[in-house]
Amino acid sequence: MIVYLINRVGQSLFVLSAMSLIVFVGIYVIGDPVQILVSPEASAEEIAQVRRNLGLDLSLPTQYLRFLSGATSGDLGSSFVYNESAIVVILRHFPATLELALAAMFIAIALGIPLGVWAGIRSETFSAKAIMAASTVGASLPTFWVGLILIMCFAVYLGWLPASGRGATRSVFGVELSIFTRDGLAHIILPALNLALFKVSLVIRLARAGAREIVGQEFIKFARATGQSPARIVLGHLLKNIMIPIVTVLGLEFGSVLAFSVVTERVFSWPGMGNLLVRSLFLLDRPIVVAYLMLTVVIFVVINFTVDVIYTFLDPRIRFSAKAG
């Protein structure tokens, strides 16, 4: 367990430093943020002043070293645009993205597992074949296109749901969340569906493959021979056996939704981290971009760890020691 943790943390520290260097150099090459930040009429003196304030007058290696020394004490720098700590800016956008991601995962699990298991244990039926055909289509459509279609259908033609933005929020344990208000719920449905579509298809495929394999196993036949009900057999015996690949993929998908739900957030003007990232890239707001990517690494590390812990609950044959090396 300890070895496992040290391994994991060491790996992620390496990824973090490599990533920060790449982003630093990358954005330096793209352009000069000062040109974007100051007004067109600004004098050369004012520009030089801004440059000094932001620390952009120094050489690139010096800037990077200053960043590193700040980072080791937990300070990832201040946004050029917002004039406040980059982390604070990002965390302000975090709840919106988090609840969008959670809603999408919820849809993926609630639809994907039942449909996939059904398609697996009744693979000869017409409904099973229809489910599989739909999931193939769902997995191959581009996200932004589906987003536009959803907006056209449900917002423009039918007018049932709002097309963009986030609804009214309510403070829950100090976090502003929108899923607990009617308005917020109406706003989140379309983007969450959009984000979930690919994941639903993925979960259906995994659940079906797992279910097909497990129903043929002797312990299922044995459980049936003891007179246990179909519900007990599916929910009790089968489900736990097919969850490992599903949890793995859902974990990774959850991470990538949190970190890169950029397309959906753009299409639906969702005020989350994805939108912030795109805006910051346009404004060359380097501290935000760097801090954002570091946060991403942390998210993936936490999710991977959680997934590993869930494994040990799902399958008694898996132990930490086996994976530490």
Query: What residues make contact with another protein under the rule CB under 8 A?
Result: 124, 217-219, 221-229, 232, 236-237, 240-241, 314-317
**Closest by CA position to 188, among listed 273, 104, 93, 91:** 104
Q: Which is nearer to another protein, 100 or 238 (CB)?
A: 238
d(CA 190, CA 172): 23
Q: Which is nearer to another protein, 121 or 297 (CB)?
A: 121
Do 154 and 160 contact (CB within 8 A), yes or no?
yes
Q: Which is nearer to another protein, 39 or 226 (CB)?
A: 226
Q: Is 110 helix (H, G, I), strand (E, B) or coil?
A: helix
Least CB distance to another protein at residue 221 (A): 6
Least CB distance to another protein at residue 109 (A): 19
Q: Which is nearer to another protein, 182 or 317 (CB)?
A: 317
d(CA 180, CA 184): 7
Torsion of CA 103, 236, 130, 252, to 10 degrees: 40
Least CB distance to another protein at residue 123 (A): 11
Helix axes of 273-282 and 239-260: crossing angle, nearest 10 degrees: 30
Q: Which is nearer to another protein, 32 or 315 (CB)?
A: 315
d(CA 145, CA 129): 25
3-state secondary structure 154-221: HHHHCCCCCCCCCCCCEEECCEEECCCCHHHHHHHHHHHHHHHHHHHHHHHHHHHHHHHHHHCCHHHH
d(CA 131, CA 125): 10
22: its two tokens: 């790449």
Least CB distance to another protein at residue 312 (A): 11
Least CB distance to another protein at residue 117 (A): 16
Q: Which is nearer to another protein, 224 or 266 (CB)?
A: 224
d(CA 100, CA 196): 10
Do 119 and 131 contact (CB within 8 A), yes or no?
yes
Q: Which is nearer to another protein, 52 or 240 (CB)?
A: 240
Q: Which is nearer to another protein, 48 or 322 (CB)?
A: 322
d(CA 195, CA 147): 8
Least CB distance to another protein at residue 127 (A): 15
Least CB distance to another protein at residue 216 (A): 10
d(CA 172, CA 95): 11
Least CB distance to another protein at residue 243 (A): 9
